[in-house]
A = this chain, B = another copy of it.
Amino acid sequence: MNEVYHFLIALVVILAAAKIFGEIAVRFGQSGIVGELLAGVIIGPGVLGLVSETPILTNISELGAIILLFEVGLSTDIKEFARAGGWATAVAFVGVMLPYFFGYFTFMYFGLSSTQSIFAGAVLTATSVGITARVFRDLKKLESEEAKIVLGAAVIDDVIGLAILAVVLKLVSGGTVTAGSIAQIAGTAVLFLALAIGAGLLIAPSIFKLVSKMKQENIVFVAGFAFCLLIAALSSKFGLAPIVGAFAAGLVLSSTKQGEEVKNGIKPLSAFFVPIFFVLMGTNVELGTFNPFVAGNGTILILTAVLFAVAFIGKTAAGFVVFKKGINKLLVGVSMVPRGEVGLIFAGIGLRNNVFGSNEYSALVAVIMLTTFVTPFILKYLMTKESQKKEIK
C-alpha cells in the first residue's frame, strides 16, 4: 500500500507544480513549457527533492512524449507539406543544417566526444511549432505570408529532425560512423515513415469508418490512440524512436474524417501525461551546474552561452534564404528560433543512453529554455516595428 501512496503522491506533486509554474509562465507571456521545466528543476533532487524518477514515472513520461508528438501530427495538415512550397522547405533545410553543424562544432571545440557532439547538434535542429504559432496568433499575424512559411518550415524540420534522431540513435547503440551506415539508417527512417504514412493513408479511412460504427463510448478516440501506440511500437521495433511513429500516426489520422474526434479525446490525456514529461525533464537538470562560484562551472556557463548564440544565429540565418521581395527575412528567421518538445525529447534520450552527463544535459535544456524565453520579446518588437513602417507608407 505504501508503494501506491508514493506513486500517487508523486503524481499529485508533479501535476500541481506543473500547473502552478505553468500558470506563472503563461501570465508572464511565456510558454507553459518553460514553467513546467522550471517546476521540475525546483521539485527535483537538485532543489527540494520532492520527486525523483522511478521506472513507472519514466514509462508514464514516455507515454507523455508519444502523446505530445501524436498531437503535433494530428494538428499538422498533411497537405500543408505541399502547400508550404519551396521557401518553407528551403528555410527548413538550412534551419536544420546550420544549427546542427554549429552545435556539433561548438561541442567539439569544448573538447566533448564526437558522439556527444553529433547528438548535441541533433538537439538543436527542430523548431517548436507551438510557441511560434502562438506568438503569430497573439499578434494576429497568423495569415501573413511570413507565418505560412514559418509554420510550413517548422513542420518540415520536425520530420527532418526525427530522421536525424533515427540516425543518431543507431550510432549511439553501437554503430560505426561511416557514410554508408548513415545513409542506410537515414534510408530506413525515411522508408519507415513513408511506408507508415502511405499504408496508413490507404488503410486508415476504411478502418476508422468501421470503428465509427461501433457503439461504445469514446471508441473512435481509443481506436485512434491504439493506432498511435501501434505505430510507435513498430517504429521502436525498427530501431527508430517511438515518437517518430506517434508523429506519423497523427499525420495519417489528421487526414481522416475522425481526426477531429481523436484530437478532442487526446486533449485531456495530454493535459495529464505531457506535464509529467516536461517536469521529469526538468528534474534531471542540475541547477548547481550553473553556479558560477563552483570551480569548473565557468566552462559550462560559457558552453551554454555559445550554444545559445549559435542556436539563435543558425535559425535566424535560415530566414535569409527567402530572397523574395516584401518578405521580412529577419522575422522569418527569428520565428524559427524557439526549440521545444522535440529537442527536449532528444536531450532526454541522450541522457538516458549515457551520451550526456548531467552537465551537458543541463546546458542543452537551458539553451532550449532560453530560445523559447527570449524569442517572443524579439518577435513582438519586430512585428510592431513592421506594422509602424507599413502605417507610415
Q: Which of A115-123, A232-240, A296-304 contacts B (4 or more CB under 8 A)?
A: A232-240
Distance in Å from the Cβ of A168 to the closest Cβ of chain B? 13
Proximity bits, A197-231, B CB within 8 Å = 1, else 0: 00000000000000000111111011101100110
Beta-carbon nearest neighbor of A169 in chain B: B1
Proximity bits, A17-29, B CB within 8 Å = 1, else 0: 0010011001100
Q: By the criterion CB–CB under 8 Å, are B268 and A266 in contact? A: yes
Interface of A is mostly: helix
**Contact status of A219 and B269, CB under 8 A, knowing A62-B4, A226-B12, A233-B9:** no
Cα(A238)–Cα(B225), bound, Å: 36
A195 contacts partner chain B, Cβ-Cβ < 8 Å: no
Q: In the assembled complex, which residues on chain B have CB atoms less than 8 Å from the CB atom of A233?
A: 4-5, 8-9, 12
Q: By the criterion CB–CB under 8 Å, are A237 and B271 in contact? A: no
Q: In the assembled complex, which residues on chain B have CB atoms less than 8 Å from the CB atom of A55?
A: 55-56
Cα(A271)–Cα(B226), bound, Å: 11
Q: In the assembled complex, which residues on chain B have CB atoms less than 8 Å from the CB atom of A265?
A: 268, 271
Cα(A32)–Cα(B222), bound, Å: 15
Q: In the assembled complex, which residues on chain B have CB atoms less than 8 Å from the CB atom of A2?
A: 236
Q: In the assembled complex, which residues on chain B have CB atoms less than 8 Å from the CB atom of A242?
A: 4, 8
Cα(A218)–Cα(B18), bound, Å: 13
Beta-carbon nearest neighbor of A246 in chain B: B8
Q: In the assembled complex, which residues on chain B have CB atoms less than 8 Å from the CB atom of A19?
A: 214, 216, 219, 222-223, 226
A137 contacts partner chain B, Cβ-Cβ < 8 Å: no
**Contact status of A229 and B8, CB under 8 A, knowing A1-B239, A27-B215:** yes
Q: In the assembled complex, which residues on chain B have CB atoms less than 8 Å from the CB atom of A26?
A: 215-216
| A interface residues, Cβ below 8 angstroms from B | 1-2, 4-5, 7-9, 11-12, 15-16, 19, 22-23, 26-27, 32, 55-56, 59, 62, 66, 173, 214-219, 221-223, 225-226, 229-230, 232-233, 236-237, 239, 242, 265-269, 271-272, 275
